[in-house]
Amino acid sequence: MHFLITAGGTREYIDPVRFISNASSGRTGYALARAALRRRHKVTLITAPTGLRPPSDAKALCVETAAEMFEAVKRYFGRCDCLIMAAAVADYTPARPPGRKIKKTPNMLTLKLKPTVDILRWAGTHRKKGQLVIGFALEDSNVRANAERKMKEKKLDMVVANTPVAIGSAQTSVEIKSAGGDWLRIRRTSKAVVAAKIISLAESLK
Ligand code: CTP
């Protein structure tokens, strides 16, 4: 299979030298890429900035912003068999970032943000050749209910629910649900173990 995997946290620039981002380490997305390669799949990894080195057998595309990630996903989605959106994509981006560095003043500063495109939702509704679409759901309450809502709204084949403690950490606990299947709980283990499970579930859905 050809896996298209996104990883890392996007950066949304408020001026040419400053950005809003999040605490994603990219570890889950990179672990997924390695797990798919280990199973001899083809991997395209679209990565926002991380401190990690992409696996040499993957085709890696580096992006920064949610808009750049969307362009890259659109470019490769038609050629993949399975998209896994493991990236922490910003939901908002500065509405009109100035072309010059914002100057300090003694006054309060208000930033106006506009919504970004929900890449996962776009993919769930634009698959023309039966690609699998797998998303993550980061929830701090009502984990299963919220994740199932996202799964339905974004028309996903599988959702992987996790909680904020997983962000930036080497280990994670997740709950996984495939469309029409039951919830599967994986308790505190390495992201490599979770990634291998997600890849094998994706194989079984194809
Ligand atoms: N996602 C995306 N494009 C965005 C935002 C999120 O593709 N602009 C994807 C993420 O990669 C993840 C999934 O959507 O796979 C869920 O992200 P999450 O932050 O949990 O949910 P949101 O849909 O952004 O909703 P909320 O933040 O309100 O919980």
Which residue range forms the structural domain that includes residue 165? 2-103+110-205
Is the CB of residue 81 less than 8 Å from the CB of residue 4? no
Query: Can you tell me which residue has the tokens 């199973």?
Result: 39
What pTM was computed for the model? 0.97
- 84 Cβ below 6 A of ligand 1: no
Q: Tell me, what's the pLDDT at 197?
A: 97
Q: Tell me, what's the pLDDT at 65?
A: 98
Q: Tell me, what's the pLDDT at 162?
A: 93
Q: Which atom of ligand 1 is nearest to the CA of 137?
A: 20
Question: Would you call 22 a catalytic residue per the annotation?
Answer: yes
Is the CB of residue 20 less than 8 Å from the CB of residue 26? no
Is the CB of residue 203 less than 8 Å from the CB of residue 158? no
Three-class SS state of 20:
strand
Among residues 22, 107, 142, 146, the one annotated as catalytic is 22
For each successive 10 residues of the chain (206 residues), what is the average pLDDT? 98 98 96 98 98 98 98 98 98 97 96 98 92 96 96 97 84 93 95 97 95
Q: Tell me, what's the pLDDT at 16?
A: 97
What is the CATH number for 126? 3.40.50.10300
Handedness of CA 39, 45, 50, 54 (dihedral sign): positive
d(CA 85, CA 22): 16
161 alpha carbon – ligand 1 mean position (Å): 11
**Sequence-ordered list of residues with C-beta below 8 angstroms from that of 142, at least 6 positions apart, any chain:** none
Q: Nearest Cα to 69, choosing from 17, 129, 5? A: 5
Q: Which atom of ligand 1 is nearest to the CA of 160?
A: 15
Q: How many domains are contained in the chain?
A: 1
Q: Tell me, what's the pLDDT at 53?
A: 97
